[in-house]
A and B are shown apart, each in its own frame.
Chain A
Amino acid sequence: MARARVYVTLKKSVFDPQGQTIHDALVSLGYDGVKDVRQGKFFEVELGGLPAEQARQTLEEIARKVLSNPVIESYRVEVEG
């Protein structure tokens, strides 16, 4: 069983209205030191029945084709041993 974490985040060049709103809320709560917030998505995926290298390839494919939209998002896949 492969366990993986997939992080999907908006690209740096893309405006993040949710992150901006959270940032503004934090500042209004008195956390003046907060300079920026970017919101993203986090997936934990368990994948069975594949050898490690193939599991990684499949997870990369899932992240690229389904979990993220390449126009606005980037992703990172971390596979546990």
Chain B
Amino acid sequence: MKVGVVVFPGSNCDHDTYHALKHVCGQEARFVWHKDSDLSGLDAVVLPGGFAYGDYLRTGAIARFSPVMRAVTEFAGQGGPVLGICNGFQILQEAGLLAGAMLRNRTVKFLSQPVHVRVERDDTAATAGLPVGSVLTMPIAHGEGNFYLPDDEVDRLEQEGRVVFRYTTRDGRLADEANPNGSLRAIAGICNRERNVVGLMPHPERASEAALGSADGRRIFEALVTSLVRA
């Protein structure tokens, strides 16, 4: 599998993501500059975390107008798997590829801490083959991760089985204290209707080797490979 890791000015998890894909998971990987619009030869695209264009106006607001995002939209439209991590998730929301928006964390603080998320679906590009109900431990690092969508739309998201990850306790229970940022219905990750575009706030690349405290994130990158094999 050959994965493109998109680099925006202000991306800061691009090298970690590249490392996790290439050296930990043994996949081919290459960086894609935000001014490029050539995704040819790629089997999957990852939008890494960071602060694209400084997030000065709003998270992801300017990045979505990058030339590469036109290509990513086209790639996703053709069924190509796209994974957005943290800021990458926010960019996909601004681009209209994923639903909702991120409000400021309910504590108004930037949160950098390990969290537990429960896998809700095993039929998306980022969770293929992961047992539903399994709990992954990965860090979050964001100021705006408070998932919001109007009630009727979040109901539809649930009905369509598009909630992919929820913040839970270590043993997979929903609890207010396990929801770090106040996200609606403890939503930590979602997918699009076609299930090939997935966004999540925790950072799998920062939890992909035991030396980092958790190797759970590796399972998400491996699921990306599994989803391609299945497709």
Question: Is the beta-carbon distance between A17 and B104 smaller than 8 angstroms?
Answer: yes
Binding site for A on B (CB under 8 A): 57-58, 61-62, 65, 93-94, 100-101, 103-108, 146, 148-150, 182
Knowing A21-B108, A71-B100 are in contact, say whether A66-B149 is a contact too (CB < 8 A). no
A residues near B148, Cβ cutoff 8 Å:
14-15, 71-72
Please provide the chain A residues from 1 to 31 with a CB less than 8 Å away from any CB of chain B in the complex.
10, 13-18, 21
Asked if A55 is at the interface (CB within 8 A of a chain B CB), the reply is no
Question: Is the beta-carbon distance between A13 and B150 smaller than 8 angstroms?
Answer: yes
Question: Is the beta-carbon distance between A67 and B57 smaller than 8 angstroms?
Answer: yes
Pick 12 A–B contacts, CB within 8 A, sort by A.
A16-B103, A17-B107, A18-B104, A21-B108, A66-B65, A67-B57, A69-B58, A69-B94, A69-B101, A71-B100, A71-B150, A72-B103
Knowing A17-B104, A21-B108 are in contact, say whether A71-B149 is a contact too (CB < 8 A). yes
Residue total for A at the interface (Cβ-Cβ under 8 A): 13
Binding site for B on A (CB under 8 A): 10, 13-18, 21, 66-67, 69, 71-72
Complex: how many Å from CA A5 to CA B77? 37
Question: Is the beta-carbon distance between A15 and B108 smaller than 8 angstroms?
Answer: no
Name, among B58, B61, B100, the residue most crowded by chain A CB atoms within 10 Å (CB to CB): B58
Question: Is the beta-carbon distance between A66 and B108 smaller than 8 angstroms?
Answer: no
